[in-house]
Amino acid sequence: MLTVRNNLLRIFYGLMFILSQGELMAQKWYRPVNIGHVYLNFIAEKKLSEDDANANFVVCNNNIMSELFKGELQELTEEWKKNDKGSISPNFQNDPYFTPNRDYKIDYSIDAFSDDSINVKFFYEYGTSRWHHYNALLMNLIIPRNSRLDSIFNMEYYESLYKTVYNGIGHDSTGKQMEEELGTDYFEYFGQSLQLRNVYYEDQNLEICLQDGIVKFVKIGRPGWMDSDNITKHKKND
């Protein structure tokens, strides 16, 4: 009987593990628009506990970092400066548009978020070339979400923009699905990057932003770029 009981327990815990992994895999991640931001190096994601995240991130004088955390980032920046030695990388020497940035100001971006986590990357801008920003990655963090951290990282804005769905079209829909559902009667704005498409359905008062053919967000309202001369009108399919 004991052997049967142990086997049943193994099966039970095995099923619980499989179900937990399925829940993790099923978790939807939202990835904001990211055009022209290129990281020059790779750093694996590091998960912070909720206690560590609450301790490291504070709102003070428009700064979101604790003094200790800020000091750690500055040390990483100093390492970059020492290795860089003020020279221009060979990758950019033949780029007439490249402008090196030497102020080493630490910045961050929300690269992705889910219902319970945020992927925050800390970096400094190494240089620019036209619309491209080349960044030295300092930290790549996965932090848990709670009301305090959501407020610090302005997650209400990201939630409202990237979670909006209109007639089944929303984040991660394809451009083909957009046209099949909403039609091809729309205005389109053309900017510098061919990766980015901005369209506006005037009859539905709906703006849609796509990156690499995938919908990033849908937004009710007429966008400011409609006043630009750099737009074209698509017609309905016959």
What's the angle, vertex CA 186, arms to CA 182 and CA 187, rounded to 5? 150
Between 15 and 90, whose confidence is greater? 90
Whether pLDDT at 21 is above 50? no
The pTM assigned to this predicted structure is 0.81
Tell me phi and psi for residue 15, to 5 degrees: -65, -40
Instruction: Please say whether the beta carbons of 236 and 183 come within 8 A.
Output: yes
Q: Where are the alpha helices (DSSP H) in the chain?
A: 2-26, 50-56, 67-84, 147-152, 155-162, 175-182
Burial of 224 (0-12, 13-18, 19+ CB in 10 A): exposed
Q: What is each CA distance from 95 to 3, 83, 90, 132, 202, in whole angstroms?
A: 71, 21, 10, 12, 40
Whether pLDDT at 12 is above 70? no
Between 14 and 53, whose confidence is greater? 53
pLDDT tens for each residue of 30-39: 999 998 888 8
SS3 4: helix
**For the CA atoms of 140, 127, 29, 220, what is the dihedral angle to 10 degrees?**
150
Q: How many separate helices (H) and strands (E) can be counted in the chain?
A: 6, 13
Adjacent-strand bridge partners of 175: none
Instruction: Please say whether the beta carbons of 191 and 233 come within 8 A.
Output: no
Whether pLDDT at 16 is above 60? no
The whole-number average pLDDT for the span 140-151 is 96
pLDDT tens for each residue of 170-226: 999 999 999 999 999 999 998 878 889 999 999 999 999 999 999 999 999 999 999
Q: Give percent of the chain above pLDDT 70.
A: 83
DSSP letter at 169 equals: B
